């Protein structure tokens, strides 16, 4: 009986919504408790972040998680909420965006 090699485990990086919320609060909502920031709260429609904020969050993802979000993914839809940011980061980590 021949032994077959086991496939390598998936190494998709899990990005924490709590971590993202803490960063957003620290940089854009001082004085707010990160635990109070709902994962689906619309950060763009409420002017918590703008296009420069999207770039700052993308830079933070690169520094904190070593995830590079492709330029084509730097859209308002992908950075509208903490949940959307997490999903975008995890997609980038699963693809070519993880260095």
Q: Is the pLDDT of residue 14 over 60?
A: yes
Other beta carbons less than 10 A from residue 58's beta carbon: 23
Q: For 78, which DSSP code?
A: G
Residue position matching structure tokens 């689906």 = 40
> What is the DSSP code (8-state) at residue 44?
T
Whether residue 86 is predicted with pLDDT greater than 50 in this model: the reply is yes
pLDDT confidence tier of residue 6, bands split at 50, 70 and 90 = very low
Rounded to two decimals, the pTM is 0.83
Mean pLDDT of all residues belonging to the chain: 88
- Check whether 70 has a pLDDT greater than 60: yes
Encode pLDDT of 29-59 as tens digits: 999 999 999 999 999 999 999 999 999 999 9
Range 56-64, long-range pairs (CB < 8 A, 24+ positions): 56/27, 57/20, 57/23, 57/24, 57/85, 60/23, 60/27, 61/15, 61/85, 61/89, 61/92, 64/19, 64/23
């Amino acid at each position: 009986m021949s032994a077959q090699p086991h496939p390598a485990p998936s190494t998709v990086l899990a990005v924490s919504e709590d971590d993202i919320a803490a960063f957003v609060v620290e940089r854009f909502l001082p004085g707010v408790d990160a635990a109070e920031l709902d994962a689906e709260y619309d950060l763009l429609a409420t002017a918590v972040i703008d296009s420069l904020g999207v770039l700052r969050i993308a830079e933070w993802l690169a520094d904190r998680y070593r995830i590079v979000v492709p330029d084509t993914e730097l859209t308002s839809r992908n950075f509208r909420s903490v949940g959307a940011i997490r999903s975008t980061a995890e997609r980038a980590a699963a693809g070519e965006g993880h260095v």
